[in-house]
Amino acid sequence: MLYNPEKAIFSNWGLRFFCLTLVFISICACSAPKRTITRVAGKNPELNICRVVLLPFVNESRSPQLSTQAYRIFFSEIVGSSLFRVEPEGDLQLFLYRNRIRPDTIWNRDLFVALAQQLEVDGVVIAYIRESNLVAGASGSRNAYVSLQVELHDARSGRLVLSSFLRRTGDDYTKVLHFGVVDTVSGLLQKMAKEIINEWREKGVSGCQ
């Protein structure tokens, strides 16, 4: 069979085009992130909140140590974002002790107002870990999975300002060809914290800026 250079060139370009198409599809599939579901409570909510306190996370998962880990990560990310000034954890613990507030206490308006007056804060961040697990990833590996709900309340009135819900796995932050996959819960929580903070900025929370 005679060698045909024109057919060979066409075949090579066809193969290259096919490979580039697959890469393009992979990039598009990985670059379409899931949106955070954020609800703004009521009409004209008070978004001018600067100083906040982060309450201990309510842990509904099967990982007993996850609440402390999530608290530390979110505290660090909120401070690093410069969106809010965050009340030190020690001051919060002292307030909880003096007022005999247990971790399972349901917060009402009186507690919010007392917190605002004693710690001089504008807002309260309350977070719920709905679920956490390891799931099978796209490449067959085990990836972290976390489901979170994070709320911002006006401490002066107790009113809910924003409520964000997001469910993420390590694969959700993949960039292309498996790069960017988050395979630890701590790494996933850090990504989720940044995502929520950016979402709140987009919703109009002015913070201290």
Contact (CB, 8 A) for 163 and 39: yes
For 194, phi and psi rounded to 5 degrees? -60, -40
- CA angle, 82 as apex, 79 and 84 as ends, to 5°? 75
Q: Is the pLDDT of residue 120 over 50?
A: yes
Q: How far apart are the first and last CA of the chain?
A: 74
Q: Given this model, what pLDDT does residue 23 score?
A: 41
Centre a 10 Å sphere on the Cβ of residue 143 and count the other Cβ atoms it contains: 24
Write the single-letter amino acid at 81.
S
Contact (CB, 8 A) for 180 and 173: yes
Q: Given this model, what pLDDT does residue 21 score?
A: 40
Report DSSP state, residue 132: E
Q: Given this model, what pLDDT does residue 27 score?
A: 39
Break the chain into its structural domains and give their ranges: 1-32, 35-202
pLDDT tens-digit map of 28-73 = 444 444 556 777 776 666 678 999 999 999 999 888 889 999 999 9
Cα–Cα distance, 179 to 186 (Å, whole number): 18
pLDDT tens-digit map of 69-87 = 999 999 999 999 999 999 9
Strands 37-40 and 58-59: unpaired
User: Which CATH code for domain 35-202?
Assistant: 3.40.50.10610
Which of the pair, 93 or 4, is modelled with greater confidence?
93
Q: What is the pTM of this model?
A: 0.77
Query: Can you give 153-183 as a three-state secondary structure string?
Result: EECCCCCEEEEEEEEEEHHHHCCECCECCCC
pLDDT band at 95 (very low <50, low <70, confident <90, very high): very high
Which of the pair, 133 or 109, is modelled with greater confidence?
109
pLDDT tens-digit map of 147-176 = 999 999 999 999 999 999 999 887 877 654
